[in-house]
């Protein structure tokens, strides 16, 4: 009869304590290595943060753990026992549930119907029981503290509200392990606070959590440990109170300089003016009323506010995507009629949308075609004939300007990471001779390395004399980059702050 040593017993007890253990996990797609030999443990009552640049392997790792993909090599253990998650259903049977960035909702169904889909309550005649279904889901929503109506149709909801529906779906049965992939990227301030409180509560109740985020402040706020991935490989697991500089160094493999470039000191004449703008009412969208803003040459002006405050709609009006019922738009002091994007581009104004996948990019075309497309009518490639041989050097130069690898110019945009997709969208804005740039949430779902590339590009545009209006829900980003900061709430501009007087508490007070 064999006996175990104390060290062996300790390892066995530790394995049983571990909610999840992955060993040597790899995933290959032909010659492409997405994940290579990654190992980590997730403990009970722990928020384990995954941190890394876009393309580091985070999404591949969590999709394997959630059963959406199978590994090419490696193994998974749950509570010390080997597991094979060959489907999402199998992973759920082991108590693993995930909320991904890409939603899996049925748009024409209600919130309640989406949450209970596949597990609908039945009455005594084995028929769907609509009343109890809606009541139980609304109770779940209220328990989580979300601002959401169980009877609302999902297609009518903003992206942040749809994110809440996905979270409710995952938590209708309490998991042993919950995976959250950038869960606050689309949420308003209030709903973000509700989610963070929910994460704390779940942790206290014994749920282990894998939490993927690019927001540095969330790591120390929520996390216990952080596992850093780089280029599909494990780098290190560190305590969550590790400094931001050290985390960025581990993530990128290089020393980090200042996160936000210093804004240009001098600004020039007014390039963009929106005077007393009121937008046409639209169902489910905040109506912007009597809003005015000026942006000068060389100036970056920030527009802050909660999701749904009207700030994105105000920005879209510059590009002719929202109809004005009152007010006017002026470019360099001259009133202009902008009925659509073509008019805006002719007036040397560009708008970069918040939803890059649906509004900004052709996902099935390559990066080169995406970047060049907007220049066919107004850029150096304009003309009646395509001239790809003349574009190569120019597009390579634009790719370099946004830190996009030239090798990715021929890749389908759908295959790129979120950060590289955003760089393609940014490069599109540089094809034309533009003097006024409006960027709407340019760093949503983008890792800190890609953020720094975007920040540098915005700073260089400003330094060359462009006027930049930056719409963002990320207040530290706005405070770091802008000369002035405006706050929108309830469709109205309610505050203005100059750089020397930036005060986070006072700015946040204007949000509500």
Instruction: Enumerate residues 6+ apart whose C-beta is below 8 A from 279.
Output: 287, 288, 289, 313, 314, 317, 322, 323, 324, 325
Distance (Å, whole) CA 152 – CA 138: 11
DSSP string, 336-356: E---SHHHHHHTTEEEE-S-I
Output the six-digit token pair for 86.
């060959």
- pLDDT higher at 75 or 252: 75
The answer to whether the pTM exceeds 0.75 is: no
Domain 270-360+433-509: give its CATH code: 3.40.50.300
Q: Which stretch of DSSP H or E encloses residue 169?
A: helix 159-171
pLDDT of residue 179: 94
Show the beta-strand stretches assigned E in 108-199.
Answer: 177-181
Phi and psi at 205, nearest 5°, equal -85, 0
DSSP string, 253-302: SS----SSPPPPS---SEEEEEEEEEEPPBTTBPPP-SEEEEEETT-EEE
5-33 pLDDT per residue, tens: 544 434 443 444 788 999 999 998 877 78
Q: Is 303 helix (H, G, I), strand (E, B) or coil?
A: strand
Distance (Å, whole) CA 51 – CA 237: 10
Output the six-digit token pair for 483.
């000369």
Output the six-digit token pair for 141.
């929503």
Distance (Å, whole) CA 35 – CA 24: 9
Distance (Å, whole) CA 313 – CA 281: 11
Distance (Å, whole) CA 295 – CA 305: 18
pLDDT of residue 118: 66
DSSP state of 155: G
User: Are the beta carbons of 307 and 163 closer than 8 angstroms?
Assistant: no
User: Are the beta carbons of 276 and 288 closer than 8 angstroms?
Assistant: no
Q: Which residue has the tokens 């109890």?
A: 132
381-433 pLDDT per residue, tens: 555 445 555 667 778 888 888 888 888 888 999 888 788 899 999 999 888 88
Do the domains 18-252 and 270-360+433-509 sit in the same CATH topology, yes or no?
yes
Task: Give CA separation, 207 vs 8, 44, 84, 97, 407, in Å.
Answer: 27, 7, 21, 11, 42
Output the six-digit token pair for 111.
């919130």
> Percent of the chain beyond pLDDT 90?
39
Multiple choice CATH, 18-252, 3.40.50.300, 3.40.50.11720, 3.40.50.1010, 3.90.1150.10: 3.40.50.300
203-262 pLDDT per residue, tens: 888 899 999 988 788 898 889 999 999 888 999 999 999 988 888 888 877 666 677 888
Q: What is the mean pLDDT of the chain?
A: 85
Q: Over the Cα atoms of the chain, what is R_g?
A: 24
Distance (Å, whole) CA 172 – CA 194: 17
Distance (Å, whole) CA 320 – CA 498: 28
Distance (Å, whole) CA 192 – CA 186: 9
85-134 pLDDT per residue, tens: 888 889 988 889 998 877 888 989 999 888 888 666 555 444 455 657 78
Chain-centre distance of CA 230, in angstroms?
Answer: 19
Output the six-digit token pair for 123.
């009455």
Output the six-digit token pair for 160.
């942040």
Alpha helices in 38-150 (DSSP H): 58-65, 88-93, 111-115, 130-144
pLDDT of residue 198: 87
pLDDT tier at 336, thresholds 50, 70, 90: very high
Q: What are the domain boundaries of the chain?
A: 18-252, 270-360+433-509
Show the beta-strand stretches assigned E in 19-72.
Answer: 20-29, 32-42, 47-51
Distance (Å, whole) CA 242 – CA 227: 11
Torsion, CA 347, CA 349, CA 353, CA 359, rounded to 10: 30
């Amino acid at each position: 009869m064999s006996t175990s040593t104390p060290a062996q017993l300790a390892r066995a007890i530790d394995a049983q304590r571990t909610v999840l253990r992955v060993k040597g996990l790899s995933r290959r797609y032909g010659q492409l290595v997405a994940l290579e030999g990654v190992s980590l443990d997730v403990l009970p009552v722990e928020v384990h943060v995954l941190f890394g640049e876009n393309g580091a392997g985070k999404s591949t790792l969590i999709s394997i753990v959630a059963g959406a993909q199978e590994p090419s090599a490696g193994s998974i253990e749950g509570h010390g026992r080997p597991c094979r998650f060959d489907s999402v259903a199998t992973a759920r049977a082991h108590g693993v549930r995930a909320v991904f960035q890409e939603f899996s909702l049925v748009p024409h169904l209600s919130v309640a119907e989406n949450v209970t889909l596949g597990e609908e309550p039945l009455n005594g005649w084995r028929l769907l029981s609509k009343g109890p279904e809606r009541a139980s889901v609304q109770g779940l929503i209220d328990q989580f503290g979300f601002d959401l109506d169980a009877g609302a149709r999902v297609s009518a909801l903003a992206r942040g509200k749809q994110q809440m529906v996905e979270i409710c779906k995952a938590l209708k049965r309490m998991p042993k392990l919950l995976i959250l992939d950038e869960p606050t990227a689309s949420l308003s301030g209030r709903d973000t606070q509700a989610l963070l409180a929910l994460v704390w509560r779940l942790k206290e109740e014994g749920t282990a959590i894998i939490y993927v985020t690019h927001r540095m402040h969330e790591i120390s706020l929520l996390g216990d440990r952080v596992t850093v991935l780089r280029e599909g490989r494990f780098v290190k697991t560190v305590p969550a109170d590790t400094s931001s500089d050290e985390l960025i160094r581990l993530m990128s493999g290089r020393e980090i300089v200042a996160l936000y470039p210093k804004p240009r000191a001098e600004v020039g004449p007014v390039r963009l003016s929106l005077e007393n703008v009121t937008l046409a009412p639209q169902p489910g969208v905040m109506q912007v009323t009597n809003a005015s803003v000026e942006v000068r040459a060389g100036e970056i002006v920030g527009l802050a506010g909660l999701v749904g405050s009207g700030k994105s709609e105000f920005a879209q009006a510059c590009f002719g995507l929202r109809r004005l019922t009152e007010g006017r738009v002026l470019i360099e002091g001259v009133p202009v009629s902008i009925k659509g994007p073509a008019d805006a581009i002719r007036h040397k104004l560009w708008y970069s949308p918040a939803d890059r996948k649906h509004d900004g990019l052709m996902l099935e075309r390559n990066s080169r075609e995406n970047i060049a497309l907007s220049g066919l009518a107004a850029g150096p490639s304009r003309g009646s004939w395509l001239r790809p041989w003349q574009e190569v050097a120019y597009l390579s130069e634009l790719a370099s300007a946004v830190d996009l690898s030239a090798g990715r110019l021929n890749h389908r945009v759908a295959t790129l990471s979120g950060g590289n997709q955003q760089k393609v969208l940014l490069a599109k804005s540089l094809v034309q001779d533009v003097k006024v740039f409006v960027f709407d949430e340019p760093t949503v779902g983008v890792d800190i390395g890609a953020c720094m590339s975007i920040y540098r590009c915005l700073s260089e545009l400003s330094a060359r004399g462009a006027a930049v209006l930056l719409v963002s829900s990320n207040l530290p980003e706005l405070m770091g980059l802008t000369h002035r900061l405006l706050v929108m709430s309830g469709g109205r501009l309610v505050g203005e702050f100059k750089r020397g007087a930036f005060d986070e508490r006072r700015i946040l007070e204007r949000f509500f």
